[in-house]
Amino acid sequence: MSSKGTNKRPIESDEPSRNKRRRRGNKSREEENDLLDMELKVNQLFKSLDSQLTADHYLRQLTRFGADLSPIELADLTISGTSPPPTPTPLPPVTHKLTAYTANAIKDTSSWEQSRVTDNMPAFVEKFTAKPELLSRADKTPGSPHTLIVAGAGLRSADIVRAMRKFQGKNCAVAKLFAKHMKVAEQVAFLAKQRVGMGVGTPARLAELIENGALKMDKLQRIVVDASYIDQKKRGIMDMKDTMMPLASFLTRKELQERYLEDDKHVDLIFY
């Protein structure tokens, strides 16, 4: 009498593959840390990113911090100058579906060779403006800036305001549009009477001023995202959920989103 044995393959440990992924992750973090210049407070990553790579980074951070959102909700927060194609079922990863649309909406600034420190921001904006001499002029309609600069915090916004004062004049203000400096009511009153060339602020406060009608978008020509700056904890505006998600919500507002690729009332989207 013979017995039939079952030949089972030995269970292979997944520890080697786990270690490989861990080593790959550690290498990636080391490479990212090498780009962080704490003396200058700058993430040097952005100086080498063209429109496509900037779009990839934006979408990577969006999906990272928007992990609790549905694919549809993430798509709503994706920068695009045109409507994305119909979404098939099942839904593919958002980053694969929309990255090309995001890249089309972002202005390529990879030709900028200088460091992206605060003091260089005025020259940077001039370089990527068709008529830089007009940066020191404001529309006659109060509260109608041609440029908005979006930063992650009030203190950082204040530093940018000081750097951009070369564009300020009697009839062209560089407006402080962030919390902890002025109350919303004070900013509303300021925008109601003052001609503004540039506005510098945080995403949430800028959105609030747009919604209450104080900050007008009719004459807007460009949005500059303060992407390269990092704080003492090595974090930039796109490195924290508390700043990345409000930034995404602001950049994808309907009155902005539809203008990134339009010739009429076009808005440049620029990552510094």
pLDDT at residue 151, rounded to an integer: 98
The secondary structure of 109-178, three-state, reads CCCCCCCCCHHHHHHHHHHCCCCHHHHHCCCCCCCCCCEEEECCCHHHHHHHHHHHHHHCECCEEEEEEC
Give every residue of the chain whose pLDDT is below 70, as ranges: 1-31, 81-101
Cα–Cα distance between 222 and 266 in angstroms, integer? 8
Instruction: Read off the pLDDT of residues 26-70 as tens digits, 9 standing for 90 and up.
Output: 445 566 778 999 999 999 999 999 999 999 999 999 999 999 999
All structural domains of the chain: 118-271 (3.40.50.300)
Please tell me what DSSP assigns to residue 78. S
Q: Which of 10, 89, 9, 107 is nearest to 52 (CA)?
A: 107
Cα–Cα distance between 270 and 231 in angstroms, integer? 21
Cα–Cα distance between 37 and 10 in angstroms, integer? 49
Cα–Cα distances in angstroms (integers) from residue 179 to residues 91, 142, 168, in the given order: 39, 20, 21
pLDDT at residue 81, rounded to an integer: 53
